[in-house]
Amino acid sequence: MSAQILDGKATAAAIKSDLTARVAALKEKGVTPGLGTVLVGDDPASHKYVAGKHRDCAQVGLASIQRELPATATQEEIEAVVRELNEDPACTGYIVQLPLPKGIDENRVLELMDPAKDADGLHPTNLGRLVLNEPAPLPCTPNGVITLLRAHGVEIDGAEVVVVGRGVTIGRTMPLLLTRRSENATVTQCHTGTKDLSAHLRNADIIVAAAGVPHLIKAEDVKPGAAILDVGVSRNAEGKIVGDVHPDAAEVAGWISPNPGGVGPMTRAQLLVNVVEAAERAAAAL
Ligand SMILES: Nc1nc2c(c(=O)[nH]1)N[C@@H](CN(C=O)c1ccc(C(=O)N[C@@H](CCC(=O)O)C(=O)O)cc1)CN2
């Protein structure tokens, strides 16, 4: 068997095309939504991701607000930029690109954000709303995973899903989204403390791999026909992405997301969705 592709690039393009029309409609009402980004330090991957976010903004007609600080920036300097964006009326929503440099208290920065402008859905208030089933901006990568599965007709309802990883941007929140009544999946969360990862994986209809361990998941770990979402990003000596999933797994799986070209573009598209939805809510309240 050779897996079918969960095409993140094409699915993200369709989402962006829909958003372009919605942004144009907002502009006709006199509202120009803007996405802000706070980027601290010189991690090349973070710079690439943020540049991609602003390219997306230009494509769909969103205004871009970019704030960059050096790796030497203090906690207070970063927090000052967050306070400024909280107050900036041109900024509909913004993100603080993670990870922040060592020594910076990331949670303190996230907590300082105005929850109404939290385009990543990572503010504690919004994470709490998600737990309570209240409306909130949804974390971009987990929401991107679900949108990608749905766009390709992969059944989530009743599926056994294994999430590998417990990081903030995906591992922690992926199970919360998947176990909502609208998704209705059964989720097992695995992590470095899991005793027999392979046994869990072999039982999964859907695997979300977000461990950041190159080629952790191999063909023999995969149930025939399963859907695999490879969210892991490691880099080889040439700086090329190496995912969590060994390429041989595609011979066993029914569906697989390429990496790059799978969940990454979906993360960016869902970020735009959060900003446009926030702008639409604000416009409706005018
Ligand atoms: N504040 C946040 N920080 C981080 C998040 C996040 O959701 N919010 N997630 C990741 C990084 N990330 C978003 O910021 C992200 C990752 C990957 C991509 C992407 O488009 N990847 C491309 C490949 C790009 C490359 O060649 O390096 C792809 O997969 O095709 C976009 C955004 C951590 N930080």
Q: pLDDT truncated to tens, each residue of the chain (286 aa)?
A: 699 999 999 999 999 999 999 999 999 999 999 999 999 999 999 999 999 999 999 999 999 999 999 999 999 999 999 999 999 999 999 999 999 999 999 999 999 999 999 999 999 999 999 999 999 999 999 999 999 999 999 999 999 999 999 999 999 999 999 999 999 999 999 999 999 999 999 999 999 999 999 999 999 999 999 999 999 999 999 999 999 999 999 999 999 999 999 999 999 999 999 999 999 999 998 8
Which numbered atom of ligand 1 lies nearest the CA of 265? 20
9 annotated active-site: no
Ligand 1 mutation pick, 37, 49, 141, max ligand atoms within 8 A of CB: 49
Q: How far is the C-alpha of 125 from the C-alpha of 235, rounded, in Å? A: 33
Our answer to whether residue 120 is catalytic in this structure is yes
* Tokens describing residue 150: 């749905």
H/E stretch holding 77: helix 75-87
Report how far residue 262's alpha carbon sits from residue 259's, in angstroms, rounded to the nearest whole number. 5
Distance in angstroms (rounded) separating the CA atoms of residues 3 and 254: 4
Amino acid at 206: I
Print the SS3 string covering 270-281: HHHHHHHHHHHH
Buried b (16+ CB within 10 A) or exposed e, 12-47: beebbeebbebbeebeeeeeebbbbbbbbbebeebe
Q: Are 270 and 144 in contact (CB under 8 A)?
A: yes
| Helix or strand holding residue 39 (H, E) | strand 34-40
Give residues (CB < 6 A) around ligand 1: 45, 48-49, 52, 95-98, 120, 140-141, 169, 241, 259-261, 264-265, 267-268
Bin 239: left if φ > 0, else alpha if -120 < ψ < 50, else beta. Answer: left
